[in-house]
A and B are shown apart, each in its own frame.
Chain A
């Protein structure tokens, strides 16, 4: 938008000179140029079509509009955009080549918006109309019979967040973008508010208010504070670059012009399984929890090494392929004359996603509490119970389900274990770089592919009371009633377990709220303050569901009646009736518990 494709051609030419002795790289640069040419030709073709249509249209508004379109297409995306209209149009045209996310829309459109508004060249209504065209194109990219059509887990972008000068970036344009999107009866795109410690309460309230009234559930919330810290500390970005991050897909973290490499889903509960089964012979000899933890720590180390290797293997497999289209727009690929899939991009994060973190914390907590602190059972007894999949040891399992100091209750024991675990994961990964030299930033999100179910089905019984093959938990949030003390202790546990921003990758916290809060403004106001406090305490993400368990149960009995009920699942939202039965069950349990 700033340099136009003309700028890209210039960079391609420079790169060709720099790599003139490297035939393979030159071939790649040539290919990129062909792609860039194709985009230009396409825009020209569209411009011609618009001219022709304008010619055959009678005098009037639509003729004028077509002429404006043709004139603009003759400029962008080849040349830098000269107006808000042209800026939106160049996204429209090039989006098909980088089909990921609109990124930080309110930020890069702002100079165009402010200039045109100040010069009287643009009205709010016009700006809204242009943006809506863009949003409709995004929805239109999905086929109606694609599961993603109404899932909303695609084309995620952000508004607000820190600007390079350290101020909160939520502007009049941000608000206009939100209004423009919500006015459409679409599911795609969806957006997150990037909250900062400087975000006015009025802005958070506004966004939460729009969210509670949006039947299509398109708004979520992320916290800039821990995430920017993690991007600086773990990825090593300077502040001005860290503030450019965006969310895309379900809830993945990304850097504009950069890429998230790998994103392998990992079952982290494996390290518990390997400890309690694979190392079972050594465990009864551990006299203290610390001795036990040392064994576990070795398994954690082994798993982390495997994960790094796996990430590399995954990336190397992908490197067999060359990406021509995205490489054109990603930072460094042109200069390095190298495909993004082969590490050409200079700005990237490896973002493995760990599923089952809460199960690990809970399993360790149970061992510490039951075996070492309260001595309710011996290690041998616990291991035997696991081996039998709790059969014949139901009493112990009942006791654990009732008395264990599970994660999410702001309990010193499990919170301490959570801190230790996340610190150790951080320590394991901080000196590792992926095969292309990128840093690791861990997340805990599960995509919509139900890894929690698949991973669970291959994992044996664990000390937190799971049976063989039971689902494991996704995200870090309300689950199965283990958080017994209510929402604030849960949020406090989440917020304090994360000293090194280890969960600052793709991260999800689902919050179930009583439906009353939608209607009652006084109660709603308290919800706003609660979520603001959660962010002040360091929470990284939240998304809200307003439902009653009665309603959800009804839904299962007569799905027809509740066709339009939407819920947030991991990072996306979908119609409840369209979800898989197990996911429906899980949501019902979560909701019942929230009451």
Chain B
């Protein structure tokens, strides 16, 4: 695991005026790198810790510019980014950039008026932002000092000590709970969920505000048995709020751009009606 303590974080996106990552109007900072491999992940470019070169074949015009500018002649890429810079069709792009904590804080600060008007703030998301605890801690402290409300969006598959360290500077956790069955969790995400469920309960015991997010993925967690188990668990350990997020296919193009095998990452898209029904069921589960 890469630990960034040098005052900068590996980031793959910063999104202003996000309406969906917690209360109010927010700026969401996406950390690169994740320790889970959820098959349905719609941000596959967030998984690897290192920068990556994305190639979207649909946008490529075959102009050959990349070959011309690449110091490696397009073999054994060093991630220098030259080809992405000169690709006229936007087919190539470099994903992931080290950004200093200071620069990120400045960007976050820009939208202060919007946070204040709407009860919003900043959300650190990913990837898994807790895999870069040094930078994350510094960012959270910086926001605290500036009076900006903070949320951390996590899958919770980290040690309790890591979470504990950021408790004082985190106002809200957006916490992913994907399924209750340990075996199934392991099969679809590459890791069991014991730590995740345990950390979740500890956050609640610590009195933290938590919003749980449940991805709804057909073929993974939408059978009656799993749904019932999820709802029962949430009823027993009620968070402040539950949001169910139906799977969508927006990630597909990115998988292709990463050269990944699509078959593994394609799930059926749920009927609108069924999605609404399940969302309601989760909203009412606590």
Residues of A within 8 A of B (CB): 394-395, 398-399, 402-403, 410, 485-489, 492, 517, 523, 526-527, 529-530, 532-533, 536-537
Contact = CB atoms under 8 A, between A and B. Distances in A.
B117 to A, nearest CB: 4
Given A529-B118, A533-B25, 12 more contacts: A402-B85, A410-B110, A488-B16, A488-B25, A489-B16, A489-B111, A492-B110, A529-B117, A530-B25, A532-B117, A533-B114, A537-B113
B17 interface: yes
Contacts of A523: 19-20
Contacts of B113: 533, 536-537
B114 A530 contact: yes
A427 to B, nearest CB: 28
Contacts of B15: 486
B238 interface: no
Interface of B: 14-17, 19-20, 24-25, 65, 85-88, 110-111, 113-114, 117-118, 120
A487 B111 CA distance: 11
B88 to A, nearest CB: 5
Which 8 A-B pairs have CB atoms at the shortest separation, nearest pair first?
A: A486-B16, A529-B118, A488-B17, A533-B117, A488-B16, A526-B19, A487-B17, A398-B88
Contacts of B17: 486-488, 530
Contact of B88 (A394, A403, A486, A533): A394
A533 B118 contact: yes
Nearest to A397: B88
Nearest to A514: B19
Contacts of B86: 395, 398-399
Contacts of B16: 485-489
A223 to B, nearest CB: 15
B91 to A, nearest CB: 12
A529 B19 CA distance: 11
A395 B85 CA distance: 9
7 contacts: A395-B86, A402-B85, A487-B16, A488-B17, A529-B25, A530-B25, A537-B113
Nearest to A529: B118
A366 to B, nearest CB: 16
A489 B19 contact: no
Contacts of A533: 25, 113-114, 117-118
A516 to B, nearest CB: 9
A119 B86 CA distance: 75
A489 B117 contact: no
Nearest to B119: A529
A248 B214 CA distance: 50
Contacts of B110: 410, 488-489, 492
Q: Which of B14, B24, B117 has the most CB of A within 10 A?
A: B117
- Residue in A394, A517, A526 whose Cβ sees the most chain B Cβ within 10 Å: A526
A488 B87 contact: no
Contacts of B19: 517, 523, 526-527
A533 B119 CA distance: 12
A536 B111 CA distance: 13
Contacts of A488: 16-17, 25, 110-111, 114
Contacts of B25: 488, 526, 529-530, 533
Nearest to A595: B250
Given A487-B16, A526-B19, A536 B85 contact: no
Given A533-B117, A536-B117, A526 B24 contact: yes
A448 to B, nearest CB: 29
A399 B114 contact: no
Nearest to B24: A526
A489 B17 CA distance: 9
B240 to A, nearest CB: 14
Contacts of A536: 113, 117
A399 B117 CA distance: 37
A394 B25 CA distance: 39
Nearest to A528: B118
Given A486-B17, A488-B16, A530-B25, A398 B114 contact: no
Given A488-B17, A488-B111, A398 B118 contact: no
B110 to A, nearest CB: 6
A536 B20 CA distance: 23
A537 B112 CA distance: 11
Contacts of A394: 88
A529 B114 CA distance: 8
Contacts of B120: 526
B206 to A, nearest CB: 27
Contacts of B118: 526, 529-530, 533
Contacts of B24: 526, 529
Contacts of A489: 16, 110-111
B17 to A, nearest CB: 4
A399 B88 contact: no
A523 B170 CA distance: 23
Nearest to A401: B88
Given A526-B25, A530-B25, A530-B114, A399 B85 contact: yes
Contacts of A410: 110
A526 B19 CA distance: 7
A533 B17 CA distance: 12
User: Most A CB atoms within 10 A — which of B15, B24, B65, B113?
Assistant: B113
A471 to B, nearest CB: 20
Nearest to A523: B19
Contacts of B85: 398-399, 402-403
A527 B106 CA distance: 24
Nearest to B16: A486
A486 B25 CA distance: 12
Nearest to A399: B85
Contacts of A526: 19, 24-25, 118, 120
